[in-house]
Amino acid sequence: MNPPKLCLIEDDAIMGESLCDRFALEGFAFDWHQDGGSALRSIGRETYAAIISDVRLPDVSGDDLFRELLARRTSLPPFLFITAYGSIDRAVEALKLGAADYITKPFDIEQLIAKTRRMIGASTPERGTEEAGVLGVSPPMRRVEEMLPRIAGHAQTVLLTGESGVGKELVARLLHAHASGGRTSAPFTAVNCGAVPETLLESELFGYERGAFTGAMRTRKGLFEQAEGGTLFLDEIGDMPLVMQVKLLRAIQERQIVRVGGERSLPVSIRLICATNKDLKGLVERGGFREDLYYRINVIHLRIPPLRERSEDILWLARVFLHERQAAGPPKRLSPTAESVLLRHDWPGNARELKHCIERACILARGPSLEPWDLFDTDFAAGAQSANDAGSLSAYLRSCEREFILHALEDHEWRVTETAESLGISRKNLWEKMRKLGIQIPHH
C-alpha cells in the first residue's frame, strides 16, 4: 500500500527542509513546491492526500491559489494553511470557502503533523505493549522510547523539551546510543548554554586558533569538533544569546564551523540534540529566539512529560534509584506507607527530585525499610503517615482509580468525551473525577 502523498507549498527554505525531513520520518510521500505556479501545475497531475500551503508565497498568495483551484472545479483534497498572525483573517476566509484548517507561525511541528493526520484520516502507528526498559513504564515514556530507534536512523537534529529534572539528557544519551549502534568510540559531548558566559560561548562551541585572544596560547577544538562522528547535546538552548543563535544557525545549515580567530571553514559531521525547559514558541513571539533557528532545530520534537503527568513511573523510578544505591550499602525497600506518600507527592523537581529523595532516605534510614520520615521532612511525613493510617484502603483505591482513568485518557489521546463514554460515565462526572484526582490534560 502506497503511503499518503502530501503537497507542500512553502518558499522558506529552512522551514521547507524541516517539514520535508519530518514528513519523511512520519512515512509520508510528498512534493515540495516553493512557489504557487509550480504547485498549480502539479496539483492538476498528481493525486494528493492533503495540501499544506503558506499564505504568503512569492508569486501568488496561498488563499488566491486556493480560490483558483476552486474555480477550476478541481476535486480538492483537504487544504491546510500556514499563516503568520497578521494573515489569520485571510486563512479564516479560506476556511469559509472550504479549506480544512490553518496553523499560525511559529508553530509546533508535532501540532502540524497531528492536524495533517486528522485531515487525511491517517492514524498514528500502534504503540507496543511491552514494558519500557530505560525511560519508564508509563504510556508517554514508552512511546518516547519506541520512537528513538526510528529517529536515530533518520534525524540529524532533534529538539527535546520538558521541565527541569524530567530526564532530557538521559533521552539524549539513549538516542545517541541508538544512533552510534553500540560504538563506544562515538563521542557524546554536552554543554549547558545557560551556564557558559556569553563572551566564552563562541569559543566553547567552535574552538579558537592560537593567538585569537589574550591567553590563547594554543589552538583548541570546540565542542562541534569534539563531537565529530557522534552527538552534540546543547542543553538549555533557550538561554542562548541572540548573537550566538545566528552563528549556530549558520553552523547547523552549512555543517561547517570557523574557529574564533580563524579564516578556514571546517566541515563537521554530528548529530545535534537541543533541549530546553522554556517555551521556545513563546520566546519566538517575544523576540527572544530566532524564528529561523526555531524551525531548523524543531525538525523532530520530543516532549518529555513531567512526573506528575505519568504517575505510573514514580514507584518504578524509585525502585530503579534504590537498585543503583545497592552498591553503596545494604539493600533497602519502600514500605507501603512510603509508597503511598511518594504517589501523593506532586514532584515539582521531577525525576531529579525523586532521585535525591531516595538517596536521602537511604542515608538516613536505620533499617532496611524506608519510611515517609526518611523520604521527606518530619512535618510532611508525620501528616502523610497519619492520613495514610487513617484510611490506607481509601488511599489505595484512590491511587487505583487515578491510574485507571489516566490509562483510559491516554488510550483515547486525552479526548474527554470519548474517554467518558468508554468508562460509562458522563463527561461532567469524568471532569469532576479528574479535578479530585489531580489529573490535568497535558499542554503539547
Residue 149 has pLDDT above 80, yes or no: yes
Question: Band of the pLDDT at 248, cuts 50, 70, 90?
Answer: very high
Closest CA to 302 of 405, 194, 126, 174: 174
User: How is domain 308-390 classified at the CATH fold level?
Assistant: Helicase, Ruva Protein; domain 3 (1.10.8)
For residues 55 and 35, give the distance between their C-alpha atoms in angstroms, rounded to a whole number.
11
Q: Which of 79-93, 357-371, 396-410 has the lowest mean pLDDT?
A: 396-410
Residue 280 has pLDDT above 90, yes or no: yes
Q: What's the whole-number mean pLDDT along residues 152-173?
A: 92
Span(s) in the chain for CATH 1.10.8.60: 308-390
pLDDT at 383: 44
Residue 440 has pLDDT above 80, yes or no: no
List, in sequence order, every residue forming a beta bridge with 273; answer none if it has no partner.
Answer: 158, 233
Greatest mean pLDDT among 97-106, 206-215, 237-246: 237-246
Closest CA to 189 of 219, 217, 228: 228
Which DSSP state fits 210? T
pLDDT at 369: 85
Span(s) in the chain for CATH 3.40.50.2300: 5-120
Structurally, what CATH architecture does the domain formed by 394-437 represent? Orthogonal Bundle (1.10)
Question: Band of the pLDDT at 436, cuts 50, 70, 90?
Answer: confident
Grid coordinates given for 414: 486525552
How does DSSP assign 106-153, residue by residue?
S--HHHHHHHHHHHHTPPPPPPP-SPPSSS-SSHHHHHHHHHHHHHHT
pLDDT at 193: 92
> How far from chain centre, in Å, is Cα 434?
25
Residue 392 has pLDDT above 70, yes or no: no
pLDDT at 124: 41
pLDDT at 385: 46
Greatest mean pLDDT among 132-141, 145-154, 233-242, 320-329: 233-242
Residue 131 has pLDDT above 80, yes or no: no
Question: Band of the pLDDT at 250, cuts 50, 70, 90?
Answer: very high
What percent of the chain is helix, strand and coil (3-state, nearest 5)? Answer: 50, 15, 35
pTM (two decimals): 0.64
Grid coordinates given for 331: 539493600
As a whole-number percent, the residues of the chain with pLDDT over 90 amount to: 37
For residues 215 and 213, give the distance between their C-alpha atoms in angstroms, rounded to a whole number.
6
Span(s) in the chain for CATH 1.10.10: 394-437
CB 333 within 8 A of CB 363: no
List, in sequence order, every residue forming a beta bridge with 159; answer none if it has no partner.
Answer: 274, 301
Span(s) in the chain for CATH 3.40.50.300: 139-305
In CATH terms, is domain 139-305 a member of 3.40.50.620? Answer: no
Amino acid residing at 127: R
Contacts 24+ apart (CB under 8 A), 195-200: 195/236, 198/241, 198/243, 198/244
pLDDT in tens, 1-24: 678 899 999 999 888 988 998 888
For residues 178 and 194, give the distance between their C-alpha atoms in angstroms, rounded to a whole number.
27
CATH class of the domain comprising 5-120? alpha beta
Residue 25 has pLDDT above 60, yes or no: yes
Q: What is the mean pLDDT of the chain?
A: 84
| Torsion 200-201-202-207 (CA) sign | positive
pLDDT at 394: 64
Closest CA to 119 of 36, 24, 6: 6
Q: Is the peptide bond before 106 cis (omega within 30 degrees of 0)?
A: yes
pLDDT at 132: 38
pLDDT at 231: 94
Question: Band of the pLDDT at 384, cuts 50, 70, 90?
Answer: very low
pLDDT in tens, 59-102: 999 988 988 888 876 678 899 999 886 677 787 888 877 888 88
Q: Which of 141-145, 159-163, 302-306, 399-403 has the lowest mean pLDDT?
A: 399-403
CB 252 within 8 A of CB 284: no
| Torsion 227-233-236-242 (CA) sign | positive
Grid coordinates given for 216: 590563547
pLDDT in tens, 253-277: 999 999 988 888 999 999 999 999 9
CB 103 within 8 A of CB 111: yes
Which DSSP state fits 87? G
Q: Which of 144-153, 269-278, 303-312 has the lowest mean pLDDT?
A: 144-153
pLDDT at 391: 47
For residues 191 and 338, give the distance between their C-alpha atoms in angstroms, rounded to a whole number.
36
Residue identified by cell 527530585 is 353
pLDDT in tens, 96-130: 778 888 888 888 888 888 888 888 875 443 333 33
